[in-house]
Amino acid sequence: MRDAKKMNDSSNKSYRIAVVKWSEQDEMAVVIEDELKQLNHSPFLFHIDSAVPQDIDILFTFAPYGSLQKIILQLEKMPAKTRPVWVHWNTEGLPDLRLPWAWVRFIGKIRTRLDRSLNAKNSLLQRLIPNSALNRLNRIGLRYRYVGDYYYAYRRGLLNILADSSEIYADIHTKHGIPVVVAPWGATSRWYADLNMERDIDVLWMGKRGSKRRSDLIDYVDDALSARDYNIHIADNETNPFIFGDERTEYLNRAKIALNITRTWFDDNFSRFAFAVPNRSLVVSEPLREHCTAYKAGVHYVSASKEDLVEQIEYYLQHDEERSRIVENAFELSTKTLTFNKSIKAIIDAGEKHLS
């Protein structure tokens, strides 16, 4: 591991940090790079299919949106003295929380072994099974694979810091042997702006439908509110295209309400808050588990059961002052307390303890 470059202020250090990008259009990677620069570090991006860069202090990965074995297999070949400190910010979900942890870990180990075989050169599986079949197989049970990868890498001394956007998931991992840094979703300057636009969209949904339960609930809300002549915009890449970057910011500046529905009953869906809340769009959500306890229902967002969701949306569309009160509370929380900058700083501060 290279010596960290010290800044003029001896109490403040700057590190050379390689940030993975999972695709050429990876918004999250660019945001992390920006925030690290604001923290006076020297970050740069590298593609997941590239070699892990040499001469770095910290390797920063997140999500994951692909195979972490591409990282792990490379780190295993590096001498311990030259390996970078690896920090990973998990923003993906766990398998069903009702399952016994022993089952989750067992299936996770199997998924990790499968993925290792797929990413290793000339493995037995690759020789016996066609690539198309292997790729289909590897798309099954992704959440188990994440768990398997984290425990495999941590127990071999490759993964130094695991962070998680969810307090619930962080607690589960900590109880089972991996100390976790809680790093919630928050505001970042690339994702919001005050555009002073007319809020001519009553309700906005953005993102994949992802599951039947979520798709059915989106359709239920859309049908019910459209029948009452409200303007609903569904950006699901089916009804309308997905929205990203500046276009997403514009839509959120136009939307009075951003709808929040989870894929499953236990998911951490607070990523949508990081987009909507700083753009002063009121989040109306089905009830959420306490993945981020800083957000309080009735104070920073509106929580409503499926049966009450349409009525609650209509209520806040018709009561501007009450909607504005919650919107401003949430804006202050996300831009002052729950910022990306603070979360990323907490991750790097934890990783710094492993630098020598």
Q: Alpha helices of 280-339 — where are they, by DSSP H?
A: 306-318, 320-332
165 neighbors 185 (Cβ within 8 angstroms): yes
SS3 of 201, please? strand
pLDDT at 291 (0 to 100): 95
Run means of pLDDT, 10 residues per run, the chain, 356 residues: 38 89 96 98 98 97 96 96 97 96 97 88 71 78 97 98 98 98 96 98 95 93 97 97 97 99 88 96 96 97 96 98 98 97 98 92
Cα 37–chain centre separation: 20
pLDDT at 129 (0 to 100): 75
For the beta sheet containing 58-63, the strands, ordered from the edge strand earlier in sequence to the opposite edge, are 42-47, 16-21, 58-63, 85-90, 161-164, 180-182
Dist CA 18 CA 85 (whole Å): 10
pLDDT at 353 (0 to 100): 96
CA 155-70-181 angle, to 5 degrees, is: 45
Dist CA 11 CA 128 (whole Å): 56
313 neighbors 257 (Cβ within 8 angstroms): yes
Dist CA 51 CA 43 (whole Å): 16
In sequence order, what are the residues at sequence separation of 6 or more whose Cβ sits closer than 8 angstroms to the Cβ of residue 101? 172, 176
How much is the pTM?
A: 0.92
What residue ranges define each of the domains in the chain, with the CATH number in brackets? Answer: 5-184+340-352 (3.40.50), 189-337 (3.40.50.2000)
pLDDT at 8 (0 to 100): 35
pLDDT at 210 (0 to 100): 85
